Amino acid sequence: MPEHTPDPDTVENFLSNAMLTLSVKDRNETTEEIHGVRCLAPNETPELLEKSLSEMYVALECIPRSEKVAYCKSQELFPHTTFAMDRDFRLRFLRCELFDAPKAAIRLVKYMDFILEIFGQDRIELLERPIFLKDLEREEETNNFLKSGHFQLLDYRDRSGRRVGVVFLTNEMMSYNVYARLRVFTYIWLVASVDVESQRKGIIGVSMPMSSDDNSFSPAMPSKEDINLQYKFYAAIPMRICTLHSCFPPDTFFYSYWELVALAVGEKNKRRLKFNMGRPMDMKYDLMSYGIPPDLLPSTESGNIKLKNHLQWIQARKLIDEKRYTQESIVECPALNDVVFKKAGKSWRLHPGDVYFRGLIESKHKEHLMCNQTEKRDLVWSIVKEIDSRNGKFLAWDKMGWWYEVKERSEIRKKVAIALRNFNTQHKSARQKRQICEISTSVFDSNGKKIKQRHCGGCVPGR
């Protein structure tokens, strides 16, 4: 371990050198996507999808059998049912590689090999179907790590519509073996890659050490096996990484640790690493600059992990995996343009779809006050159609712990009408408070003037 203290300039130089291998155009585009002001996913057309799928099929056939053992086994054992042949599943890999078919084919082959490596060569059923929650629950250490909440997929997106996954680094987390951790990581990342918006826009990863007053984070350096398996994970997972934020304090251990992180994520993802080094408050401000509200991370100031939303997410996934609910009936994370109706939770005040919706409500406020009942109904429908035109959905909160889409148009109209009415009430109340404040200030100034005049008159002799 190095004897010198961490130097932020050294970290920046390392990242700059990684970016210098790119062309100026690619470097600028990557930087803009890291900051959330650009999405590198191309516009999709039916022709592009079919052409890319055809090219991926050819690329898969060209890979030597010795380099696609698990893939070949899936074709031999489950020629008609393996999910490796599923069109939507293959599109995940194509979107991950921005429709570079040969790269997508290699990633799919690596994924099949990686699944058997971390779950066991005897788990051949995982060559036919996706990983389910029950596959994690059957192994005690893996199940315990899942429920510990050390890795959570947040139930909101960043300001650019990207999913956010958070890893809390603690001594307890590092006590779990690397296979248990990677099984959970793989399952959660696969879940994140289910919907098309997430596949296109990618995911943001955040890792940060958590320390309570009586338990500071001080793990051992990861082993060569750990680094190797994590490298395989990043090379196989069908989810495009936009940014990996590694937050750590100015400590000599982490100065060495970030070098190993860069080694594990691979050459492509190394260019998307952002090391946020400093005090907890400094790291929070760094995350804010990338569109991630740090106050919404599931942790407390005292260093404890919040589990409520995570355990609700596990319950929802269990119901989906068991087919008691469909993926469509449970919305685990609202899309960028969705409008959500929920009474509590400050995170939804920051949700981009809700921000846009509230702007619409405010812009229609004065017009709504002057409308008759028929005109008000038409005004409400115009707001609904505006959200529809952006491919947004209206979501409501189920007490079971997840979102669901409101499909009944009359119910949508009612909820929008209530939102308009509530805004009018709040606006009227705020205006009345301002008027009362102005009157009180006026009376105070007037009384103050009179008191001053009387005081001055009583002090001048001869009056």
57-70 pLDDT per residue, tens: 999 999 999 999 99
**The predicted structure's pLDDT at residue 461:** 41
**The predicted structure's pLDDT at residue 180:** 97
**131 or 281, which is more confident:** 131
Asked if residue 255 has pLDDT above 70, the reply is no
**The predicted structure's pLDDT at residue 150:** 96
Minimum mean pLDDT among 3-17, 102-116, 233-247: which range? 3-17
Minimum mean pLDDT among 89-98, 284-293, 404-413: which range? 284-293
Q: What is the DSSP pairing of strand 402-405 with strand 394-398?
A: antiparallel
pLDDT band at 327 (very low <50, low <70, confident <90, very high): low
Asked if residue 231 has pLDDT above 90, the reply is yes
DSSP 182-236: HHHHHHHHHHHTSSHHHHHH-EEEEEEE--BTTB---PPPPPHHHHHHHHHHHHH
Mean pLDDT score of the chain: 84
CATH number for the domain formed by residue range(s) 1-32+131-333: 3.40.525.10
CA 182 to chain centroid, in Å, comes to: 19
Asked if residue 208 has pLDDT above 90, the reply is no
Calculate mean pLDDT across residues 191-196: 93
Residue 114 DSSP code: H
**The predicted structure's pLDDT at residue 82:** 94
* Residue (of 234, 175, 247, 241) closest to 208 by Cα position: 247
pTM of the model: 0.84
**The predicted structure's pLDDT at residue 448:** 54
**The predicted structure's pLDDT at residue 86:** 96
Asked if residue 12 has pLDDT above 70, the reply is no
Calculate mean pLDDT across residues 264-281: 83
**The predicted structure's pLDDT at residue 7:** 47
Asked if residue 387 has pLDDT above 50, the reply is yes
**The predicted structure's pLDDT at residue 247:** 85
Give CATH 3.40.525.10 domain extents, the chain. 1-32+131-333
Q: Which CATH class is domain 35-130?
A: mainly alpha
**The predicted structure's pLDDT at residue 2:** 37
pLDDT band at 434 (very low <50, low <70, confident <90, very high): low
Provide the token pair at 425.
């009430």
Provide the token pair at 286.
């760094």
**The predicted structure's pLDDT at residue 456:** 42
User: Rounded to an integer, what distance in angstroms lies between the CA atom of residue 209 and that of residue 60?
Assistant: 40
**The predicted structure's pLDDT at residue 352:** 85
User: Rounded to an integer, what distance in angstroms lies between the CA atom of residue 52 and that of residue 97?
Assistant: 11
pLDDT band at 111 (very low <50, low <70, confident <90, very high): very high
**The predicted structure's pLDDT at residue 219:** 66
**The predicted structure's pLDDT at residue 5:** 38
Asked if residue 242 has pLDDT above 70, the reply is yes
Size (the chain), residues:
463
Give CATH 1.10.8 domain extents, the chain. 35-130
User: Rounded to an integer, what distance in angstroms lies between the CA atom of residue 403 and that of residue 341?
Assistant: 9
**The predicted structure's pLDDT at residue 4:** 38
Asked if residue 17 has pLDDT above 80, the reply is no
Hey, what amino acid is at 195?
D
Q: What is the DSSP pairing of strand 203-209 with strand 163-169?
A: parallel
User: Rounded to an integer, what distance in angstroms lies between the CA atom of residue 450 and that of residue 456?
Assistant: 10
Calculate mean pLDDT across residues 247-274: 77
Calculate mean pLDDT across residues 187-191: 96
Calculate mean pLDDT across residues 139-144: 96
Distances (CA, A) of 158 to 11, 37, 331: 25, 12, 17
Burial degree of 205 (CB within 10 A; 0-12, 13-18, 19+): buried
Minimum mean pLDDT among 9-18, 174-183, 314-323: which range? 9-18
**The predicted structure's pLDDT at residue 233:** 96
Minimum mean pLDDT among 28-37, 256-265, 303-312, 436-445: which range? 436-445
pLDDT band at 452 (very low <50, low <70, confident <90, very high): very low
Asked if residue 300 has pLDDT above 90, the reply is no
Say if CB 156 and CB 334 are below 8 A apart: yes
**The predicted structure's pLDDT at residue 15:** 62
**186 or 15, which is more confident:** 186
Calculate mean pLDDT across residues 250-274: 76
DSSP-based three-state secondary structure for 404: strand
* Residue (of 373, 351, 361, 367) closest to 418 by Cα position: 361
Calculate mean pLDDT across residues 270-288: 82
Q: Find which of 125-134, 315-324, 357-366 is predicted with most confidence, using mean pLDDT.
A: 125-134
Burial degree of 211 (CB within 10 A; 0-12, 13-18, 19+): middle
